[in-house]
Amino acid sequence: MEPGYEIDFLPVGNGQSGDAIALRFGNVFGPRNEQVVVVVDGGFTDDGQKVVDHVRRYYGTNRIDLVVSTHPDADHAAGLETVLKECEVGCLWMHQPWNHTDDIAKMFKDGRVTDNSVTEALRKSLDEARSLERIALSKKIPIVEPFAGVSDASGSVWAIGPSKAFYESLLPSFRVLPEPVAPQSGILSKAFRRVEEVIKWIAESWDFETLDDTGETSAENDSSTILLIAVGNHYLLFTADAGITALTNAIDLLNNAGIDLSKIKFVQVPHHGSKRNVGPSILDCILGPKLKQEAKLRTAFVSVANSVNDKHPSKKVVNAFRRRGAPVLATGGQGKCHYFNAPGWPARENWSAAEPLPFYTQVEE
């Protein structure tokens, strides 16, 4: 029997976007030893128990073969503490930035960040990552840094980004090193200014695309682990919060390895659908060129807060995916399941049927 998979995007946060993904693949109709169970990120702190309960109830197990912390932002990593504490975990993939720069290593005192120059967001991220490390060490869970080329015990889960060299090149640009960026400059301040601006709308059509390749994201986002999972003839691509540069590096790796990208049947839309994380060129590489007419060649999921708003996901990003044969399904604060050659059963309680977002004729400028 051809192997199958179930991919569950759990509802996370309370009005905030985040990622908590559980999946299993293999002979999902068979015994546990013929399946691989993976958790990719765990949402906010209060979401961790949801992940644990989901795996126990719907996958029928308390063992997770692989837990991946793509990067230590609270909306991705905080819930993983509960997962590591309550489940039997085969391996933890996470980056340990303190192993790559003395600047970050020196910030920790008594196990917590003490450097006053660190922004509160980065302080929490670093503390969260160190906490995951401590839990894993206490439970003797092996820790692997998921740099490009690393694979899991099954040989089916691959880290395709970032490379170690690229990751280390990003560390000086985190929100701290060597000193804070001036408020009037930098990617983050630009983002804040954009949020404050009134959204203006422009027209799009199937043949007229306004998304461009100028989007920039933060170094922290570009440090996200990018995963490719091979299940039979299907590839599943998980992008976390990676941006254009990180995604381009990952796709270059796949092309150099001779991977047939047309076999990518499932794609996670990066960073909750932000227009700063993708552009036409990288989408052409991942999904193929724009189609002359609409067709569904693969499935795309985006994890967003409990209402689809004017910011996430970006409407021009949704349109760009759809033009390339990947209609986007948004969680909108509810759980969503995508499966192939799998029962998708028992039915997820209180989860609604998934419908792709429409093609928008008006998008944000």
315-328: pLDDT as tens digits: 999 999 999 999 99
Could you tell me the pLDDT band of residue 18, with boundaries at 50, 70 and 90?
confident
CB atoms within 10 A of CB 207: 8
Taking the C-alpha atoms of residue 133 and residue 97, their distance in angstroms, rounded to an integer, is: 11
Query: What is the model's pTM?
Result: 0.91
Tell me how far apart the terminal alpha carbons of the chain are, to the nearest angstrom: 48
CA distance 139 to 53: 20
State the Cα–Cα distance between residues 84 and 89, nearest whole angstrom: 7
- Read off the tokens for 224: 């996200």
pLDDT, one tens digit per residue, over 31-89 is 999 999 999 999 999 999 999 999 999 999 999 999 999 998 888 899 999 999 999 99
Tell me the two tokens of residue 101.
């720069």
Q: Which pLDDT belongs to residue 16?
A: 76
**23-27, 55-59, 232-236, 343-347: lowest mean pLDDT where?**
343-347
Does residue 51 or residue 15 have the better pLDDT? 51
26 band by pLDDT with thresholds 50, 70 and 90: very high
> For the chain, which domains are there?
4-364 (3.60.15.10)
From 3-12, 110-119, 153-162, the region with the lowest mean pLDDT: 110-119
Q: Are 26 and 15 in contact (CB under 8 A)?
A: no
